[in-house]
Amino acid sequence: MSVYLHDIPLAQAQARLREALQGANLWRVLGTETIPLDENALGRVTAEPIWAKVSSPHYHASAMDGFAVRAVSTNGAMPSTPVRLWIGPEAQYVDTGDPLPEWANAVIPIENVESLDENDQITKEIRSPKSIRIRAAVAPWSHVRPLGEDIVATQLVLPAGHILKPVDLGAIAASGYQEIKVSRKPKVAILPTGTELVPIGSTLKAGDILEYNSLVLAAQVKAMGGEPKRFPITKDDFDLICQRVADAARDHDLVLLNAGSSAGAEDFSARVVEKLGTLLVHGVAVRPGHPVIFGMVKRESESGNQNSENWKPETRKLIPIIGVPGYPVSAALTIDIFVEPLIAKWLGRRPKELPAETAILTRKLVSPAGDDDFVRVVVGRVGDKLLAAPLSRGAGVITSLVQADGLALIPSGTQGFEAGEKIQVRLYRSRAEIEKTIFCIGSHDLTLDLMAQFLAEHDRRLASANVGSQGGLVALRRGEAHLAGSHLLNPETGEYNLSYIRQYMPNIPVKVVALVGREQGLIVKKGNPKGIKSLRDLARSEVQFVNRQRGAGTRVLLDYHLNLMTIPQSSIVGYSQEEYTHLGVAAAVASGRADCGLGIAAAAQALDLDFVPLFQERYDLVIPKEYAESDLLAPLFGLLADAAFRKAVSRQIGYDVSVMGTVILED
């Protein structure tokens, strides 16, 4: 039966690869090498146990500047009845680290000694007095580092499979080593393929895709302890890809063939593996990343380091190849899920495990029942609850990995989780970072990005999720955020936010602070080719509109004015086409998916579009009182009066900072 895109369970796919590697004698440490013990050994993995060659210290050493003595000679010394000791037979000066005389078993610190000259007068000559006077007895081995206090010869200092840290290098040196045997770094070839790909720095035209997957994959491999090599882009040509893979296989332990792993007309990866070796798997039931390929390809010749310890030519006839999906998130997660355990095995260390925490899901998640679904989440503590807010799940949205605090797994056989359910999250960030995270859920505004930048300088992290103004108020009611951005216009009173706060957050004391005044209008293509001047133009049949999502303040503003102008929603082409941010609206216009959309001037400027100003509005921060008075949010309130922050915001077109920091409501 064909294995093309037959999704199999994750555990079964991993087992097939492991069995193939065991059959090729490659499920082991690939080799070892001896390297100098210097800072370049940092991060390497010990290939064998480190047994101490010498003790540290290898003699009884003074731990203080002072006088070496026999402890018994100090017996009876008291403030009122001092004891006198003669230099030579009874006391000897030592510096910190000096060996003790064979007869001594204690050290009296210099500050506890009175040095006497030949006339029994106190002298400042501390190194060679005639005698010393002490007024307190010392116990045996006081202020002494005895032989082997740190390390005793023959003891285990570090086990095999240990990742070397800075302090480890010192311990190894103290144990008598100048060199160390470590596992050889696996050599990993990374081959990007695709006629549409262009190198970083290229001038882009329609249809071009910047090739940065290989950069990310190489960095991941390097962080895991491997030695990556990025190959040039190979266009979609079957024979050319075959040749490039064969060339890479000669000198590498693993080939990562990026893109072309699906089943389209120019997806050649599976066929390449079949031609050059054995196709083991084509399709794994994981999301993102299901069109993963596993295979084994033959080496045409051996050109590796034949002088490397443990090198065996009979075991180097096959090497594994992994077809990595082209979407950036799928590619990155494929490396984490499949390549990291493999490199760990080859290095002889344990696979890296992310710390796990139980968090409460902020919104419903739906998942295909047959897949292990890895969901990127932002994590923050609000009150006594640790919350996980899902990020965009698009396989091409690499920024979702940048923003993610961790991964939540929806296991195969589960169709999802409801909002409020507990879910396990594998954390990318430390608990300390998460405890300093300000959780903002609500309306999108570019000022929040600036705020995040400035807050980072004050040891705070702002994590925001764009769910619209109404969604933000609901999140506050549920205790799922520290604050929400909102600009909801009451169509009856013309007032912003307050009536909605009373509706969605009854009996919750809040502080409402104005952040900015901003200009809303129609974002249109450069030059405004369709001559769009007002909302009435949206009813023209040739005008394609893009809207904001239900509950967004911009959507409420639009509906309010459409109602005033008696323009039916049904007359607007694209009214049901939704975006979740102002930049999303601008991107839709810039890409030609729409002729216009309602948004802020700064979003139009960001993508070099034109802007038709229509309305002025106020954008507020809504903050429950308990968080407004917390230390966590104190730096945020400081920013509202910060001249540098206000100046940075005012540089953005269409913003008014004169209202910034004004308290609208406090109850």
User: How much is the pLDDT for 414?
Assistant: 83
Q: How far apart are CA 434 and CA 226, in angstroms?
A: 30
pLDDT at 344 over 50: yes
List, as one string, the DSSP characters of 8-32: B-HHHHHHHHHHHHHHTT-SS---E
User: How much is the pLDDT for 307?
Assistant: 46
User: How much is the pLDDT for 491?
Assistant: 81
Mean pLDDT of 47-65: 94
Number of Cβ within 10 Å of residue 257's Cβ equals 29
- pLDDT, tens digit, 9 for 90 and up, residues 206-233: 889 999 999 999 999 999 999 999 999 9
User: How much is the pLDDT for 420?
Assistant: 87
Mean pLDDT of 334-351: 95
State the pLDDT confidence band at 304, using cuts at 50, 70 and 90.
very low
Which residues partner with 374 through β-bridges? 409
Contact of 485 with 472, CB cutoff 8 Å: yes
User: How much is the pLDDT for 196?
Assistant: 92
- Count the residues in the chain: 667
Cα angle vertex 558, ends 553, 563, to 5°?
125
User: How much is the pLDDT for 246?
Assistant: 95
Q: How far apart are CA 87 and CA 64, in angstroms?
A: 18
User: How much is the pLDDT for 546?
Assistant: 97
Highest mean pLDDT pick, 254-263, 372-381, 650-659: 650-659
**Sign, CA torsion 547/552/555/557:** negative
State the pLDDT confidence band at 125, using cuts at 50, 70 and 90.
confident
Of 274-288, 364-378, 480-494, 560-574, which range is least confident? 364-378
- What structural domains and CATH numbers belong to the chain? 10-28+185-347 (3.40.980.10), 32-56+153-183 (3.90.105.10), 61-145 (2.170.190.11), 356-435 (2.40.340.10), 484-666 (3.40.190.10)
User: How much is the pLDDT for 35?
Assistant: 97
pLDDT at 392 over 60: yes
Of 146-160, 205-219, 363-377, which range is least confident? 363-377
Of 187, 188, 186, give the one whose Cα is nearest residue 324: 188
Mean pLDDT of 347-355: 93
User: How much is the pLDDT for 317?
Assistant: 85
Of 116, 108, 6, 3, give the one whose Cα is nearest residue 66: 108
Tell me if residue 425 falls in helix, strand or coil: strand
Q: How far apart are CA 461 and CA 452, in angstroms?
A: 6
Contacts of 596 (CB under 8 A, 6+ apart): 522, 523, 524, 525, 530, 532, 537, 538, 543, 544, 545, 546, 589, 612
List, as one string, the DSSP characters of 522-564: EEE-TT-TT---SGGGGGSTTPPEEEEPTT-HHHHHHHHHHHH
Number of Cβ within 10 Å of residue 267's Cβ equals 21
Of 631, 627, 591, give the one whose Cα is nearest residue 607: 591
216 or 287, higher pLDDT = 216
User: How much is the pLDDT for 262?
Assistant: 59
Of 546, 524, 530, 518, give the one whose Cα is nearest residue 604: 524
User: How much is the pLDDT for 206?
Assistant: 84
Of 241-245, 295-299, 370-374, which range is least confident? 370-374
State the pLDDT confidence band at 386, using cuts at 50, 70 and 90.
very high
pLDDT at 400 over 80: no
pLDDT at 306 over 80: no
Mean pLDDT for all residues in the chain: 90
pLDDT at 145 over 90: yes
Mean pLDDT of 63-80: 95
User: How much is the pLDDT for 4?
Assistant: 53
pLDDT at 1 over 50: no
The interaxial angle of helices 269-276 and 238-250, nearest 10 deg, is 50
- pLDDT, tens digit, 9 for 90 and up, residues 245-285: 999 999 999 999 997 665 555 578 889 999 999 999 998 88
Q: Strand 318-324 and strand 254-258: pairing?
A: parallel
Mean pLDDT of 624-652: 95
Q: How far apart are CA 119 and CA 130, in angstroms?
A: 9
pLDDT at 393 over 80: no
User: How much is the pLDDT for 303?
Assistant: 45
User: How much is the pLDDT for 191?
Assistant: 97
User: How much is the pLDDT for 261?
Assistant: 60
pLDDT at 312 over 50: no
- Can you point out the beta strands (E) in 42-124? 50-51, 61-62, 66-69, 83-86, 91-94, 106-109, 113-116
